[in-house]
């Protein structure tokens, strides 16, 4: 790994108590961050046929993403235009050839047009063409379904310009989830992001992880803005992040030897944590539930050829990160409880926490409305 400049937290301190405990702050985050920026909803490979549907909830809002008859992705607000009834539950389902409201059977095509409205023909002035589903902006990136609830969103290619093409060697669009675990964490979503952003805690909290990737062997190639992170050196040249330290699949096809000896970690504001290993990729999706509660969905992605090979067993990677995740969630919950005290005073960041300081700067910039 090439030499990199020393990390520098610029003398910053941690965020004050209200950012983690205030209902007003949480509501503003929903408006400015989660309903105003592009966020990760799921893997497009799960929508593998026309009629396959993904429901995704964000605060008070909900979207449905559906594969249409031309195999394109469409996204809509998850509410019937009649009386607002939710059309689909969160998660994956199959709606078949049309989306049908469970209340009064108003029915919509996979393109969102209203194609059926029982007992409305005798309503003066009613026209089905005037009542399509409200669209939600949707994009596919590296096999990820990305949504934006804003009425006039920044184009995806513009907002995600620093990441376009960056992860090509891993062929993320070809990878498929082989396992998923959902966690309910009793902590503010920012604590999960911040914990992921530094390894200052690794010798204490994750001794096994620290043996695989020593905490000082880290660098960053994205150091400012909404996307942050970079590589860490693997102790074992042919290793990976597993319980055994060995790879559980062949190296992903386009990685150079230099990249195959590293693991890369990136935070993608607002709700994606991306971990790129030589043999697999792991994604954490954050779903804030309340000011002090976050649901985290973790997916392990492998190439289909590796998953189909005789003897394929991803449990070495799954067990490693499940143990590590549980350690992180426990300490995040401890942080939430401590920060909630009226005696909490924000302490200074170590220079090893420079990425948290950078994350805080971007977060405060958005919350202060400086990105408008």
Percentage of the chain with pLDDT > 70?
98
Instruction: Give the integer Cα–Cα distance in Å for 328 and 337.
Output: 14
pLDDT tens digits, residue range 115-154?
999 999 999 999 999 999 999 999 999 999 999 999 999 9
pLDDT tens digits, residue range 15-61?
999 999 999 999 999 999 999 999 999 999 999 999 999 999 999 99
CA-closest candidate to residue 276, choices 229, 236, 243, 226? 229
Q: What is the pTM of this model?
A: 0.95
Tell me if 18-33+168-367 shares its fold with 38-153.
no
The yes-or-no verdict on residue 180 having pLDDT over 70 is: yes
The yes-or-no verdict on residue 176 having pLDDT over 90 is: yes
The single-letter DSSP state of residue 46 is G
Q: According to the model, what pLDDT value does residue 266 have?
A: 98
Q: According to the model, what pLDDT value does residue 370 have?
A: 76
User: How many residues appear in the chain?
Assistant: 372
Q: Mean per-residue pLDDT for 276-282?
A: 97
Q: According to the model, what pLDDT value does residue 3 have?
A: 54
The rounded mean pLDDT for the chain is: 95
Q: According to the model, what pLDDT value does residue 4 have?
A: 61
DSSP per position, 66-77:
EE-TTS-EEEEE
Q: According to the model, what pLDDT value does residue 259 have?
A: 82
Q: Mean per-residue pLDDT for 247-260?
A: 85
The domain limits of the chain are 18-33+168-367, 38-153
Q: According to the model, what pLDDT value does residue 372 have?
A: 53
Q: According to the model, what pLDDT value does residue 255 have?
A: 81
Say if residues 354 and 8 touch (Cβ distance below 8 Å): yes
Q: According to the model, what pLDDT value does residue 6 have?
A: 77
Residue 319, phi then psi, degrees to nearest 5: -65, -40
Q: How far is CA 187 from CA 58, 122, 206, 303, in A?
A: 17, 53, 19, 33
Q: According to the model, what pLDDT value does residue 293 have?
A: 98
The yes-or-no verdict on residue 213 having pLDDT over 60 is: yes
Q: Mean per-residue pLDDT for 228-236?
A: 95
- Give the N- to C-terminal CA distance of the chain in Å, as an integer: 37
Return the CATH class of domain 38-153. mainly beta
Q: According to the model, what pLDDT value does residue 256 have?
A: 76
Write the CATH number of the domain with boundaries 18-33+168-367.
Answer: 3.90.380.10
């Amino acid at each position: 790994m090439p030499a990199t400049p020393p990390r520098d937290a610029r003398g910053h301190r941690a965020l004050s108590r209200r950012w983690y405990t205030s209902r007003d702050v949480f509501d503003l985050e929903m408006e400015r961050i989660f309903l105003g920026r592009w966020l990760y909803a799921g893997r497009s490979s799960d929508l593998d046929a026309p009629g396959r549907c993904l429901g995704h909830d964000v605060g008070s809002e909900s979207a449905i993403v559906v594969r249409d008859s031309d195999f394109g992705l469409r996204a809509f607000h998850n509410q019937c235009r009649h009386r607002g009834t939710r059309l689909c539950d969160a998660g994956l389902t199959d709606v078949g050839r049309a989306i049908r409201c469970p209340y009064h059977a108003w029915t919509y095509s996979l393109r969102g047009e209203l194609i059926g409205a029982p007992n409305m023909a005798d309503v003066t002035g009613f026209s089905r063409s005037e009542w399509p589903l409200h669209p939600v902006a949707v994009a596919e990136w590296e096999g990820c379904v990305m949504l934006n609830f804003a009425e006039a969103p920044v184009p995806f290619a513009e907002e995600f310009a620093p990441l376009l093409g960056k992860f090509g060697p891993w062929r993320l669009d070809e990878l498929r989830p082989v396992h998923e675990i959902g966690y309910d964490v009793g902590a503010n979503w920012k604590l999960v992001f911040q914990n992921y952003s530094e390894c200052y805690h690794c010798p204490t909290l994750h001794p096994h992880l620290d043996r695989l990737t020593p905490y000082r062997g880290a660098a960053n190639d994205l150091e400012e803005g909404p996307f942050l992170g970079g590589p860490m050196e693997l102790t074992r040249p042919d290793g990976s992040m597993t319980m055994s330290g060995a790879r559980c699949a062949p190296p992903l096809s386009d990685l150079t030897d230099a990249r195959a000896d590293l693991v890369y970690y990136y935070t993608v504001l607002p709700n994606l944590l991306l971990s790129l290993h030589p043999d697999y990729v792991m994604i954490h999706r954050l779903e804030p539930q309340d000011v002090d509660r976050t649901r985290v969905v973790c997916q392990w992605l492998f190439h289909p050829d590796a998953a189909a090979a005789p003897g394929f067993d991803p449990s070495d990677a799954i067990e490693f990160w499940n143990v590590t995740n549980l350690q992180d969630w426990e300490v995040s919950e401890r942080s939430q409880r401590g920060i909630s005290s009226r005696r909490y005073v924000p302490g200074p960041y170590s220079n090893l926490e420079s990425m948290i300081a950078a994350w805080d700067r971007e977060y405060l910039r958005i919350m202060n409305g400086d990105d408008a």
